[in-house]
Structure 1
Amino acid sequence: MKKKTILKRLLKLIIVIVILVLVVFLGYQLFINPYRGTAENFIASLPVESELTEKQVLEDIDYTIGKLRERHPAWLENNNKNVAAVEEAYESERQQVIDDFVDTYNVIDEWRIIGRIMHQLYDGHSRISYMDEDEYYIDDFTQLNELGLPAEINGIPTEKIVDDYLEIFQYEREEYARACVDYFIENESCLEWVGVDTSDGVRFTYDTEDGKKDYHYSFVPYEQVKGAEEEDDEWVGYKIDESSNTAVFTLEECNYNDYYESTLENFFNQVNKKEIGNIIVDLRGNGGGNSYVADAFLQYLDIDGYDGWSSDVRYGNFLIHNEPYHVDIQKKENAFSGNIYVLTDVYTYSAAMDFTMLISDNHLGTVIGEASGNLPDAYGDILRFSLPNSKLGLTISYKNWHRIDQSKKGEPIEPDYVCDPKEALSKAKQLISD
């Protein structure tokens, strides 16, 4: 009897433990896990001209603010002025929809409304986006490439269009937003977002030496655009110039995978074999991705370790603080001990900006070019959602990152040598030769 009693009690204890574990697991998944209810990939948004009722627009607006309130770290921070501005914009825009007494809206209308609300957060990773499976662009980039921005679009001053765009786009630095205008006005849906009528193509008016000149464009898939750059699958590569004792490592996207690791290993093998003393890391135009690309790179350097950044991470209604960290390195054989130069421009963003910060704030190299597009003290690591009715894509940050060197809190990554980004490589080579 005694043995059976012990077994029964043990069985009851195991059952209780299992139930407790299941309760904790389900509680975490339902209320705490940042990724609860998120989408791994976006679905296509409804066509821009698709009609939405007032009720549907209000539902999508409420869904957006609801996700911000329950996922974004800023809503758990004390006296955050941007949060107050978002909440005020939400109340105002929502009331405006109710007061307008409009029977139907379209997807573009809703995109603008939510864009104005989210703009107030000044978080470049929390965005509302039109997810188009078949994007269309003006059919000729030649004039844009040669003449720069047009003075007018469909007779509207381009500066007026840019001002409207700055009020609905999500960004941290206005310099980055303005730099994106070139790409913005090439795209049909983006032009429609700021109110440009594209039903009969679009007319760009340029100021030239011979006066104003008009060009009319229709919209086509990217591969049919005249003057468009060919898409290059080689997002990572390198060139070694023994005569100048220099190796250039070019990274156009921060993809951390086997191909990156093998390319990185081959690069440093060649650098060591040829006894190269100077490495130039070209991060111009790199929009980010996985920050582990930088950690992998640093493992090949002749250093004992490096400092990382602190962060605040939102789990449910809790904001968990992670202290700054230090990474110890077990040096590789023939670790690189030469000079490092990093080339940046305003499009150096997110994980590429992190790469630059690790080099700059740890005093491991020299930064050349233009300040980064977003800030080291910024929100990031996105959660993906699709709005219930319009299917617009919504991304929301759930982490708040803090710069390694807090004496430069709130500043972008400023280069040691500021120059036109197009001349950054030449500047680096000049510094090396000097």
Structure 2
Amino acid sequence: MFSKLRLSVKNGLLILFLLLSSLAFSQKINKLTPLQMKQDIDTLIHYLEETHINPYYRYPKDKFYKDVSLVKKNLTTELDLIDFYLKIEPLLAKLEDGHTDLPIPKTEYESKNPFELPYVFRLTPDKPYILCQSVKGSYTPQIPGNSEIISINGHSAKKIVNDIINLNTGETPVFRAEYGAENFSFFIEELYKTNGKYKIKYTHNSKVNSIVIDAVRQNELIANEDSYNKALPEEKKEVDKNFTLTIQNNIAIIDFKLFDWNGFKEFADSTFSVIKDKKIKNLVINLIDNPGGDSDVGDAFLQYFLDKPFKQYDRVDVKFSQLYKDRLRAHIGSKEPTKEQIETLTKKNGTIETLYLDNNSINDNPLRYNGNIYLLINSQTYSSAADFAQCFKFYKRGIIIGEETGGLIKSFGDIVTTHLPNSDLKYTISSTLYYNIGANENDFIGVIPDIVTSKEKALEKALEIIERSNSQLR
């Protein structure tokens, strides 16, 4: 039930204009009037405060309201959907809850066949702010790999990263920067109106260079990458799998990209059968860049190497709201609701209940692994992946290597989804506060690794520790 999956108007008036504005949904809105945008902001705040347990846990309510007033005051002309999004997303970013968010309106953006800068970038809130890691597809690189970007079109790398952090929700600046890197071209194009022209200053091998790059259209980039991947030898093609196993020098390495049920059980049984048959004594579980998913998958995975009753969450605070109930009704559909579901639907809106969770019992599992485990994490280990890591740490199952997780051990989640009435922007809001096992009242922190190193060196560090341990046993 508790699986983790990131108003200033009177209620009567709100309901009235929601009904009226819903009539416009069937038509595409090219421009939003100042009144429509202000109504959407009022709705955003209403749903936030009605649904979220404590939206102002880090950012004070009075400051938030002042920010809202300033944004509304400056809405004096019509804006298109994306420009309106860029105005209001920073409001939610201030709240530092990665599950309470307005996702980028990708459909609207991609309908323009936008410009793309065909490189992979890494962003960090500290110097070096932007690293150009590699070129995409078969394009000839005009910027060498691992070059440090100094500026783009006169905007400093520090400013660019800070602007992107302010347009992404999340609990830490590191996570928000790295998450923003996934949509780098969107932010560069829409924030600075570059129109596909990039004058880039960068350093490589201690030498400062400048270059002007013409962007490519998105459809061209997609076609190029598809063609490039098809031409690769089979062994070099990237396979889109949530879990993979490799054996290296009698060390098992599980790459866990997403906590998803699709194929999990078959993969886990097969993997731990191989590990048992080969008598492998060292296992590396890689959760680097794992954004989370379904925490029930984490419970099932933990059954393969924990031998005593366990739980990922000690306590859960749930707020029952209209949106929460609407989601439940949609889930029930035409089925007969259970007694528990009826009790939920009849609770007064605004009610908050605290639930203390029982341990998961240990299943009979002939494939249970008792060897050494090394868990790799980083700032992009988030949500259910971070919950898994905290459970692993609390029960002292092995050594954790890497960076502090972006997901916190006390965090909000279990999102409900709605849309703003005039813009139709999708809006997700946390309804639940999770206390991971071992978390205290003030622990809005990530999982701290036993050995701190960069995500690029985490696997190397694990293999080094295993080799050192094996050498001592010889």
Which of 369, 382, 389 aligns to 1:349? It is 382
The CA deviation at 1:334 is: 4.5
Q: Return the letter of the residue paired with 1:307.
A: K
Tell me which amino acid in the other structure corresponds to 2:419: S
Displacement after TM superposition at 1:357 (Å): 1.2
User: Are residues 149 and 125 of structure 1, via their aligned partners in 2, closer, same or farther at CA, if it must alter by over 3 Å?
Assistant: farther
TM-score in terms of structure 2 length:
0.73
In the alignment, the residues of structure 1 paired with residue 36 and residue 181 of structure 2 have an alpha-carbon distance, to the nearest angstrom, of 33
1:118 equivalent in alignment to 2:92: yes
Instruction: Tell me what 1:128 maps to.
Output: 102
Task: Map residues 276-355 of structure 1 onto 2, 5 A cutoff.
Answer: 276-309=280-313, 310-316=315-321, 317-355=350-388
Measure, in 2, the Cα distance between the counterparts of 1:214 and 1:121: 38
Selected match of 1:365 from 385, 391, 398: 398
Alignment of structure 1 residues 43-54 onto 2, 5 Å:
50-54=30-34
Name the residue aligned to 1:88: 66
**2:156 match:** 157
Return closer, same or farther for 1:192/1:71 CA change in 2, 3 Å cut-off.
farther
Tell me how many residue pairs correspond in the alignment: 379
Quote the Cα distance in structure 2 between the aligned partners of 1:397 and 1:425.
Answer: 33
The structural deviation recorded for 1:123 is: 0.4
Conserved 8 A contact 1:68-1:396: yes
Tell me how far 1:162 sits from its aligned partner: 2.0
Question: CA 1:280 to 1:106, structure 2 compared with 1: closer, same or farther past 3 Å?
Answer: same
Given residue 66 of structure 1, which amino acid in structure 2 is its aligned partner? H
Which residue of the partner structure matches residue 449 of structure 2?
415
The separation in 2 between residues aligned to 1:263 and 1:332, in whole angstroms, is 15
CA 65–347 in structure 1, closer or farther in 2 if over 3 Å, else same: same
Conservation of the 8 A alpha-carbon contact between 2:404 and 2:449: yes
* 1:254 and 2:252 aligned: no
* One-letter code aligned to 2:453: C
C-alpha distance 45-196 of structure 1, shift in aligned 2 (>3 A): farther
| Change in 2 beyond 3 A, CA 1:239/1:269 | same
The amino acid of 1:211's aligned partner reads V
* Cα separation, 1, equivalents of 2:26 and 2:305: 43
Counterpart Cα distance in 1 of 2:411 and 2:167: 19
Cα 1:386/1:329, change in 2 over 3 Å: same
Percent of aligned pairs sharing the same letter: 24
Matching of residue 215 in structure 1 with residue 212 in structure 2 = yes
Q: 1:123 to 1:85 in 2, by over 3 A?
A: farther
TM-score by length of 1: 0.79
Contact map agreement 1:344 1:371 (CA 8 A) in 2: yes
Unaligned 5+ residue runs, structure 1?
Answer: 1-42
The one of 238, 251, 255 aligned to 2:245:
238
**CA deviation after TM superposition for structure 1 residue 397, in Å:** 0.8
Counterpart contact for 2:93–2:167, Cα < 8 Å:
yes
2:176 is the alignment partner of 1:170: no
Does the 8 Å contact 2:199/2:210 carry over to 1? no
**1:424–1:66: structure 2 CA closer, same or farther, 3 Å change rule?**
same
Q: Does 1:405 align with 2:438?
A: yes
Question: 2:161 is paired with a residue of what secondary structure?
Answer: helix
Structure 1 pair 85–231 and aligned structure 2 pair: CA distance change class (3 A): farther
Residues 104, 252 of structure 1: CA spacing in aligned structure 2 closer, same or farther, 3 A cutoff?
A: same
Q: 1:332 to 1:45 in 2, by over 3 A?
A: farther
- Give the distance between the partners of 1:181 and 1:80, measured in 2 at CA: 21
1:381 Cα deviation (Å)?
1.6
Matches of 1:157 and 1:45, distance apart in 2: 40
What is the SS of the residue equivalent to 1:169? coil
- C-alpha spacing 1:164/1:81, structure 2 compared with 1 (3 Å): closer
Which of 382, 395, 414 is the equivalent residue of 2:428? Answer: 395
> How large is the Cα RMSD of the aligned pairs?
2.9
Cα displacement string for residues 150-200 of structure 1 (whole angstroms, at most 9, x for unaligned residues): 222222222122222333321211121233353342x23x2244x211334
For the residues of structure 2 that align with 1:324 and 1:368, how far apart are their CA atoms? 28
Taking structure 1 as reference, are residues 291 and 207 closer, same or farther at Cα in structure 2, changes over 3 Å only? Answer: same
* Partners of 1:45 and 1:86 in 2: CA distance: 33
Question: In the TM superposition, what is the alpha-carbon distance from 1:378 to its structure 2 partner?
Answer: 1.2
SS in 2 for 1:331: coil
Distance 1:410 1:130, change over 3 A: closer
| Structure 2 CA distance for partners of 1:426 and 1:330, relative to 1, 3 Å | same
Deviates more, 1:312-321 or 1:403-412: 403-412
1:71 counterpart residue number: 51
Report if the CA contact (8 A) 1:149-1:182 is conserved: no
Aligned-partner Cα distance in 1 for 2:165–2:463: 37
Counterpart code for 2:243: V
SS class of match (1:328): coil
Task: Give 1:161's aligned amino acid.
Answer: I
1:93 offset after TM fit, Å?
2.2
* Residue-by-residue CA offset, 1:335-382 (whole Å, 9 max, x unaligned): 211111111111111111112111112212211111111212111121
How many Å apart are 1:87 and its aligned residue? 3.2
Larger radius of gyration: 1
Measured in 1, the distance between the counterparts of 2:212 and 2:225 equals 14
Contact 1:45 1:131 in 2 (8 A): no
How far the C-alpha of 1:260 sits from its partner, in A, is 1.0
Q: Deviation at 1:315?
A: 0.7
- Tell me what 1:427 maps to: 461
Displacement of 1:82 in angstroms is: 4.0
